[in-house]
Structure 1
């Protein structure tokens, strides 16, 4: 797996839209999919965040691989998949912070939807802002460039660039520039049919307009 470290947080890309966020004491998976063989029992999730029910974001086999008896899983309210154990239904606008934090991790549930495509209607999926070791990480889910992104405050943004189902490289670059993070990481390309995109184009577009954003291609 390819990874980068920002502060005390390791961000590992599982491919597509899947990531592992590792803090000093917490392991968080977002949209685990096609889990590699190198993942073992020591990589068990403290928290799993699912953005929506499509197979490339909610893969039961991958979830079983990383989910343990003590794992907390956050699931969009309209997802039909049923989970045993600590599984919590969430909707956009939920703020699991302070006394409501999940295992000491602040998590905000934010909008994620398509504007002019039928694949991801509003209310079926979500994005997340995770604050881990003082670093705010935004995972956009399968979203277009939506107005709510202008209100996002994050140090790191994980943005889809595959156009057919999400933002294009140009739109994702615009989103990153609007948010103004320290780091932008492209995702949702290259692994699944219909997700061809050029992360170098995403990087070049951002560098041309805001060289203060560090674009990291994993």
Structure 2
């Protein structure tokens, strides 16, 4: 009898241990109040996150393997910003449940997506807007400065996005520098700002961009560069030294590296 109980206990422990080790490492999700219920912000990794609002789930630049999304609802909308592998990741897409997902992408991404997704794709070019599923998606230019034909990110190829969710405007920078279009943004409640050299901008540029359009909340994301992680604490200090009202939220976007 004791042997049977011990065997059962060890089996239960093994199942629990396996579940714990297989669970993805993720930063704790945030909730932000809107006029139509909470907006949940779930950091995943690098430039990828999941937003949940109004019974809809939005995946942004799903990347890093489908295992990172275990336990999250299947997407209703997928936003992809650019053609680079840390934004358009066919391997990750293939491992997700995408049967009901609308894929909102720039034309350059649509041209590189596997054929199986074509029926689900809606192309948005810079300056265009889509109203769907109770939310609004606007495509914002994202590009490197100075503009050049051989830049890592040329103007018009990729999209940043502004989402309106329950009256809250959410800006997703994608890969960009502090462009005139970014600086001209108005009424942004939540912003996700990239800052990684040499691909986008440094923390000073990012801080100056944020101080120009003054979002209520800003999350540094996409901050891994060639020389490691950008100094997001310095970014927060720069922003709040000039404007203490901006809520700079530092979250761990690279938990697997810890």
Structure 2-normalised TM-score? Answer: 0.78
What displacement does 1:24 show? Answer: 3.1
Q: Cα distance 1:210–1:76, how it changes in 2: closer, same or farther (>3 A)?
A: same
- The answer to whether residue 172 in structure 2 is matched with residue 139 in structure 1 is yes
What displacement does 1:152 show? Answer: 1.2
- 8 Å contact kept, 1:163–1:169: no
- List, as ranges, runs of 4+ consecutive aligned residues in structure 1 with deviation greater than 6 Å: none
**Mapping of 1:76-95 within 5 angstroms?**
76-79=106-109, 80-82=111-113, 83-95=117-129
What displacement does 1:195 show? Answer: 5.5
Q: Cα distance 1:41–1:65, how it changes in 2: closer, same or farther (>3 A)?
A: farther
Highest CA radius of gyration, 1 or 2? 2
| Structure with greater helix percent | 2
- Name the SS for the 1:126 alignment partner: strand
- Name the SS for the 1:157 alignment partner: strand
**RMSD across aligned positions (CA):** 1.8
* Aligned residue in 1 for 2:243: 210
Tell me the distance in 1 between the aligned counterparts of 2:95 and 2:166. Answer: 25
- Consecutive unaligned residues of structure 2, counting only runs of 5 or more, are 1-25, 252-258
Tell me the distance in 2 between the aligned counterparts of 1:62 and 1:194. Answer: 25
- The answer to whether residue 54 in structure 2 is matched with residue 29 in structure 1 is no
* Aligned residue in 2 for 1:198: 231
- Name the SS for the 2:95 alignment partner: helix
Tell me the distance in 1 between the aligned counterparts of 2:97 and 2:164. Answer: 21
**Cα-to-partner distance string for 1:64-97 (whole Å, 9 max, x where unaligned):** 333421110011112231323311111000011x
* Aligned residue in 1 for 2:79: 49
Tell me the distance in 2 between the aligned counterparts of 1:133 and 1:66. Answer: 27
* Aligned residue in 2 for 1:20: 50
Tell me the distance in 2 between the aligned counterparts of 1:14 and 1:195. Answer: 18
Which of residues 161, 175, 195 in structure 1 aligns to 2:195? 161
**Cα-to-partner distance string for 1:104-140 (whole Å, 9 max, x where unaligned):** 1111111100113710011111100011122211001
Which of residues 73, 95, 104 in structure 1 aligns to 2:134? 104
Which of residues 180, 186, 196 in structure 1 aligns to 2:214? 180
Q: Cα distance 1:34–1:14, how it changes in 2: closer, same or farther (>3 A)?
A: same
Tell me the distance in 1 between the aligned counterparts of 2:227 and 2:119. Answer: 34
Structure 1-normalised TM-score? Answer: 0.91
- Consecutive unaligned residues of structure 1, counting only runs of 5 or more, are none
- 8 Å contact kept, 1:161–1:197: yes
Paired positions, count: 213
- 8 Å contact kept, 1:43–1:66: no
